[in-house]
């Protein structure tokens, strides 16, 4: 065989065998004496006789651009796991994106499992409980001077004798001032749950 068969030429030009048979019947292909197709001459003749508006353009894949935030998230996830991450604008490979996706899925499953085991609690609920506990403790300290002032005044008077009598009301004022100063300094402390 001097040239190509119909199947070989169809693969060569990226058309179906039926399209090659139609072109052959329409004499748009150059044939050797044995009936095989002269590829170079046939390519030239097809280019000359084919209407460019009726040729199929190779379909370009319609890919959506990936947002920079998504690429950055992939890079962050890879870096957290000690893997190499692409530079910004450098492009993420499919393998890197797939690795980051698998890492994120594993982290999500681990968190879900920890919640089921009771090792993790809801952050909003924890903050609410912490706030209530702090408020209850503050309220207990605010009322403490009124409860103990009279007892402390009588103990000091008994210890020092009647010559140095301490009034309960005066003791309560002093205790309240010191307790409020202490509570104000404690209020500046912010718990870090982040």
Q: What is the pLDDT of residues 97-135, one digit of tens each?
A: 777 778 888 888 988 888 888 888 888 888 888 889 988
Quick one: 22 and 41 in the same domain?
A: yes
Quick one: 43 and 85 in the same domain?
A: no
Angstrom distance (rounded) from CA 3 to CA 43: 13
Q: Please check whether residue 128 lies inside any domain of the structure.
A: yes
Quick one: 130 and 179 in the same domain?
A: yes
pLDDT exceeds cutoff 80 at 168: yes
Q: How many domains does one find in the chain?
A: 3
Quick one: 134 and 104 in the same domain?
A: no
CA-based diameter of the chain, in Å? 140
**Overall pTM > 0.85:** no
Q: Please check whether residue 57 lies inside any domain of the structure.
A: no
Last residue of a domain, one of 80, 101, 117: 117
Angstrom distance (rounded) from CA 189 to CA 191: 6
Residue 5: the pLDDT is 92
pLDDT exceeds cutoff 80 at 52: no
Average pLDDT of 66-73?
A: 69
Last residue of a domain, one of 117, 149, 175: 117
Q: Please check whether residue 161 lies inside any domain of the structure.
A: yes
Quick one: 113 and 128 in the same domain?
A: no
87 Cβ partners below 8 Å, 6+ apart? none
Q: Please check whether residue 183 lies inside any domain of the structure.
A: yes
Report long-range pairs for 85-92 (Cβ below 8 Å, ≥24 apart): 92/66
Strand, coil or helix: what is 38? Answer: coil
Q: Please check whether residue 178 lies inside any domain of the structure.
A: yes
Quick one: 139 and 177 in the same domain?
A: yes
More confident residue, 68 or 154: 154
Domain membership of residue 106 as a residue range? 68-117
Quick one: 90 and 43 in the same domain?
A: no
Angle between helix 6-13 and helix 39-49 axes, rounded to 10 deg:
60
Quick one: 82 and 37 in the same domain?
A: no
Q: Please check whether residue 112 lies inside any domain of the structure.
A: yes
Average pLDDT of 4-16?
A: 91
Q: Are 183 and 138 spatial neighbours (Cβ–Cβ below 8 Å)?
A: yes
Q: Please check whether residue 61 lies inside any domain of the structure.
A: no
Quick one: 128 and 178 in the same domain?
A: yes
CA nearest to 86, candidates 69, 71, 98:
71
Q: Please check whether residue 60 lies inside any domain of the structure.
A: no
Q: Are 85 and 96 spatial neighbours (Cβ–Cβ below 8 Å)?
A: yes
pLDDT exceeds cutoff 80 at 47: yes
Angstrom distance (rounded) from CA 106 to CA 99: 11
Quick one: 83 and 46 in the same domain?
A: no
68 Cβ partners below 8 Å, 6+ apart? 88
């Amino acid at each position: 065989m001097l040239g190509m068969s119909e199947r070989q030429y169809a693969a060569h030009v990226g058309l179906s065998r039926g399209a090659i048979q139609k072109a052959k019947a329409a004499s748009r292909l150059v044939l050797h004496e044995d009936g095989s197709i002269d590829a170079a001459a046939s390519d030239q003749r097809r280019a000359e006789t084919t209407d460019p508006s009726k040729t199929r353009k190779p379909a370009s894949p319609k890919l959506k651009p990936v947002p920079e935030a998504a690429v950055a998230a992939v890079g962050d996830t890879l870096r957290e796991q000690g893997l190499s991450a692409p530079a910004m604008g450098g492009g993420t490979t499919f393998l890197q994106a797939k690795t980051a996706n698998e890492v994120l899925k594993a982290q999500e499953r681990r968190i879900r499992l920890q919640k089921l085991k009771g090792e993790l609690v809801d952050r909003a609920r924890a903050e609410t409980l912490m706030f209530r506990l702090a408020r209850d403790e503050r309220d207990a300290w605010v009322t403490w001077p009124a409860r103990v002032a009279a007892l402390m005044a009588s103990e000091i008077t008994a210890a020092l004798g009647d010559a140095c009598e301490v009034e309960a009301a005066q003791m309560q004022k002093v205790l309240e001032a010191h307790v409020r100063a202490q509570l104000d300094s404690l209020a500046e402390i912010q718990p870090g749950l982040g």
